Structure 1
Amino acid sequence: MSASVDLAIIGAGPAGMAAAITARRHGLVVAVIDEQPAPGGQIFRAVTDPAPLPASVLGPDYHAGRTLAERFLACGADYRPGSLVWQEEKGTLDLTGPDGQQSLTAKRIIVAGGAMERPFPIPGWTLPGVMTAGAAQILLKTAASAAPGAVFAGSGPLIYLIVAQYARAGVPVAALLDTTPRGARLKALRHLPGALMAPSYLRKGFSLLAEIRRAGIRVISHVEALRLEGESAVRSVRWQAGAARGEIATGTVFLHQGVIPNVNLAMALGCRHVFDESQRCWRPERDRWGRSSRNDILIAGDAGGILGASCAELTGEIAALATCADLGCLSQDAAERAAAPVFHKLRHESAIRPFLEALYRPAPQFLAPSDDDTLVCRCEEVTRGAVAAAVAEQCPGPNQLKAFTRAGMGPCQGRMCGHSLGETMAALTGRSPAELGYLRIRMPVKPVTLGDMAGPTEEERNAA
């Protein structure tokens, strides 16, 4: 089954929902394709479902997403939850979902696939019982489920939020091992004047840290080394902070060292990407309206660079206004006038980002492992030692590494190892990830069945 629309939006998080609402308001025919069963993205996951926890546990910022989701569901967009885009050619998207394989042709596409947690390749990170901190929050939001006695390790606003949510829910936490490097606060100070333009963010951050301390959770700062021990599952965490060392027994570890754009889809679509040194990750190249290097594709939200949920919503609105101008629903002057207050708010909301990027920049030893036995590519079980051997044989970059080791060629198609492979090769060669390049991502970006690729059988077509 095929259909045609003015605008296809991939992703129903804050950016995708805001883009759909804005585009529908100006009369565009819009389809929204999302892999999740309900709107909200990761930040507002399950926000439209009956709350499994008291509102105070997840906090007001989370529950504020319900209003946006309700506006989105009422805007008249063709919303397709539980659907995956696995191919695109000249504006025609092939997708698979609850109704089987379908095609959708769009004049413009907005990619709003959000962010993912940065890989954290340390010894033992693939053991059962080791997950990302985002997984801990998903369990809270969707099932009111938690892991008593877990260790949280890493740094950044998200890990502090999740530990605070555990405390509010009355779930004991064994420890928070904070990997924020020594001297990071001093480096961030030069960005403080900009951060003061968004004082509410600073207050929230200080409030979370104070909440964790009041809860009596053990916090170990400036952790410089981590090793997860166990055979069939994780059983303890070894840590080092300066001269201090310790080991904490636990069956659950949640890791986190910030988020990065989920770039695989935009890369597979052929959008040009650049390495962002301040965020230490790859991101799509785009103009202030969200237009990518492909004139029919725009990118909104954290998929284009990490700015946070409130900014994602704003960039979704801006990308939709640009689409309306491109398709003639608005003149460029009208789009500029409509976008002016949105751009103003975006500048205000994003002013804190340089401060956060300097404060929570991951330490080099957590970006690239130094232990040869540590897995870098989980799917193909490629170790740091195997990468080092390929470099010694003059492998020039991550994309060529696939031929040497099969790294990045597993079911995740490099989502969980692409950045780590680049960082590991950079550490081994003394070159930057920008010089080395990235994996060449091709469709499909996620596993699909042969049946999905073949489309409906003749019997199924006749039945339809």
Structure 2
Amino acid sequence: MIRSIQSATDLAPAYDVVVVGAGPAGLSAAIEASIHGLAVLLADENESPGGQIYRSVEHASDADLARMGPDYTAGRTLIERFRQGNLSYAPRATVWSVGPADEEVFDGAHPLEVGISLGGIARPIAAHRVILATGALERPFPFPGWTMPGVMAAGAAQILMKSSGLVPLGRTILAGTGPLLYLLASQLLRAGVSVTAVVDTTPVENWRSALPHLLGFATSPYALKGLKLLLEVHRRTRVIRGVTALEAAGSGQFGALRVHRGNKSRHIQGDLLLLHQGIAPNLNLTLAAGCDYAWDDRLAAFRPVVDGRGTSSVRGISIAGDAAGIVGAVASAHQGELAGLSAALNLNRIGHGAYEQRQNQFARKLALALRGRTFIEHRFRPGKTFRVPEDDGTIVCRCEEITAGKLREVAALDVPGLNQMKAFTRCGMGPCQGRLCGLTAVELLAQCRGVPAGEVGYYRLRPPIKPVPLGEFAALPYTDAAIVAVAGFLERASDGAPDANHGSHQ
């Protein structure tokens, strides 16, 4: 049965495989790797497994399941399989670094070291393989007024629904683009929320690029579900399409959304505005680990460079699910299975013949799950005006309150990349470490320089990628080399004299 770990002191010094993230990809990777007899640790920040898509599904009531829909309910089966597995599970754990192992600590037996904080204690642990299944983040949606009280991300509202059963009481407006916008609208309507309007900012011209991929979508699992979802929302609330600009208004608190459609505009009164314009891979841990990445113009985001098995450019690190590119829950699970299976092959726990047979099974299921994704990516690609604000007064970096105008001023100084812009403005230096501003800053700088976004690059990220108390770092196990680096000498326990081989105190 599964071993639940509540403190970093209970972690083993080393594992065959460490999986980061307990969404569909992470759960499936951990299950598959453990089936082949590997010592597996799954570390996740949440209190229970499921990730964002299956958050709190284990504890959901029948009413909750009916409101959230069958795709949410499907997570119970996966989590039940996980609970029956022979592996270790660390909930409420923060993974703040992944990198090459310290050979003095781990004797070179394991190539990777993972920094974990759990129960108020930080520990480095060793691993042969690391599978990053950190999921996705909602992309920034900057426009005038998006930071005022009463405006929040649609994903945050969904988290409150799933984890605490909380729903809005007042008039609620949803604005943006993407399937999640309509999914959340339907879930709120089923919960009895007063959804005043769904404001769709999907560019009309997207149909031109999406149309060649319509047949693949029509024969995919997404088609019928998507049609039912759209019909439900259209039947129960007002949907405004073709929106070209937005502005949130209010006196210290959101009170109305100004909606522009070309030269026409209207005000929609409301108490809460929920925003969403798609999701992008969560790159922070991936980049801090040194994995290569590239700009995906179809996603309008960076994504890690991986092969068909999820193998990254860093030896021993694989990436699965939405962390490697937005693929949805079902495809994420199959990518996790492939990553777990590859770990078993690399650690000689499965023969090549058996591996090929099982790999082909997973690949066929993955191909079916990915059918229709190309249409979705083209159809719901956010418009450039909503990705890069035209108004100079619009805040881009919420942590440091840096405006688009300030970034354009710095871009005019011919800064070559995002890290130089960060040095000039502190954009990306706040607690979110660029999660809420990175993509906007990339495209804004690329626009000012007249170059592709991929040429600008992303922030240079270093561990710890999440805040860790200084006391936990101070109490970390330390090596002889670390002592010498700080003190200049190594004190021997026998006589307290400095070790001549390590120099003397300066």
TM-score band by shorter chain is: over 0.9
The DSSP-based 3-state class of the residue aligned with 1:254 is: strand
Partner of residue 176, structure 2: 154
Partner of residue 35, structure 1: 45
- Of 353, 356, 380, the residue aligned with 2:373 is 353
Partner of residue 408, structure 1: 428
Query: Which runs of at least 4 in structure 1 moved beyond 3 Å after TM superposition?
Result: none
- Of 177, 202, 227, the residue aligned with 2:199 is 177
Q: d(CA) in 2 for partners of 1:368 and 1:173? A: 28
Partner of residue 92, structure 2: 82
How do residues 126-137 of structure 1 correspond to structure 2 at under 5 angstroms? 126-137=147-158
Q: d(CA) in 2 for partners of 1:349 and 1:196? A: 13
The DSSP-based 3-state class of the residue aligned with 1:187 is: helix
Query: Are the equivalent residues in 1 in contact too, given 2:412–2:448 (CA < 8 A)?
Result: no
Query: Are the equivalent residues in 2 in contact too, given 1:418–1:439 (CA < 8 A)?
Result: yes
- Of 219, 228, 231, the residue aligned with 1:207 is 228
Query: Are the equivalent residues in 1 in contact too, given 2:173–2:199 (CA < 8 A)?
Result: yes
Matched, 1:372 2:382: no
- What letter is aligned with 1:139? L
Return 367-376 or 429-438, whichever deviates more. 429-438
Partner of residue 188, structure 1: 210
Residues 263-296 of structure 1: per-residue CA shift (max 9 Å, x gap): 0100000000011111111010001000000111
Partner of residue 360, structure 2: 340
Greater C-alpha Rg: 2
- Of 147, 164, 168, the residue aligned with 2:186 is 164
Partner of residue 458, structure 2: 438
Matched, 1:123 2:133: no
The DSSP-based 3-state class of the residue aligned with 2:175 is: strand
Residues 393-415 of structure 1: per-residue CA shift (max 9 Å, x gap): 11122111011111111111111
Query: Are the equivalent residues in 2 in contact too, given 1:422–1:433 (CA < 8 A)?
Result: yes
- What letter is aligned with 2:416? P
Q: d(CA) in 1 for partners of 2:359 and 2:322? A: 19
Q: 1:52: how far off?
A: 7.8
Partner of residue 76, structure 2: 66
Residues 310-368 of structure 1: per-residue CA shift (max 9 Å, x gap): 00000000001111111110123322211101101111111211100110011000000
Partner of residue 462, structure 1: none
Return 282-291 or 127-136, whichever deviates more. 127-136
Query: Are the equivalent residues in 1 in contact too, given 2:123–2:477 (CA < 8 A)?
Result: no
What is the root-mean-square deviation in Å for CA atoms of aligned residues? 1.5
Q: d(CA) in 1 for partners of 2:271 and 2:263? A: 26
Q: d(CA) in 1 for partners of 2:119 and 2:21? A: 16
> What 5-or-longer segments of structure 1 have no aligned partner?
459-464
Query: Are the equivalent residues in 2 in contact too, given 1:53–1:144 (CA < 8 A)?
Result: no
Residues 43-94 of structure 1: per-residue CA shift (max 9 Å, x gap): 0001112428442210111011011011112212110000001123421212
Partner of residue 407, structure 2: 387
Q: 1:457: how far off?
A: 9.9
The DSSP-based 3-state class of the residue aligned with 2:382 is: coil
Query: Are the equivalent residues in 2 in contact too, given 1:52–1:143 (CA < 8 A)?
Result: no
Partner of residue 219, structure 2: 197
Residues 364-393 of structure 1: per-residue CA shift (max 9 Å, x gap): 000001111111111111110111100111
Query: Are the equivalent residues in 2 in contact too, given 1:122–1:366 (CA < 8 A)?
Result: yes
Partner of residue 14, structure 1: 24
Q: d(CA) in 1 for partners of 2:309 and 2:476? A: 38
Return 118-127 or 49-58, whichever deviates more. 49-58
Matched, 1:100 2:110: no
Query: Are the equivalent residues in 2 in contact too, given 1:395–1:404 (CA < 8 A)?
Result: no
Q: d(CA) in 1 for partners of 2:57 and 2:472? A: 30
Partner of residue 461, structure 1: none
- Of 242, 249, 254, the residue aligned with 1:229 is 249
How do residues 301-320 of structure 1 correspond to structure 2 at under 5 angstroms? 301-320=321-340
Q: Number of matched residues? A: 456
- What letter is aligned with 1:248? I
Q: Percent identity?
A: 43
Query: Are the equivalent residues in 1 in contact too, given 2:94–2:116 (CA < 8 A)?
Result: yes
TM-score (norm 2): 0.88
- What letter is aligned with 2:98? E
> What 5-or-longer segments of structure 2 have no aligned partner?
1-8, 101-111, 479-506
- What letter is aligned with 1:71? R
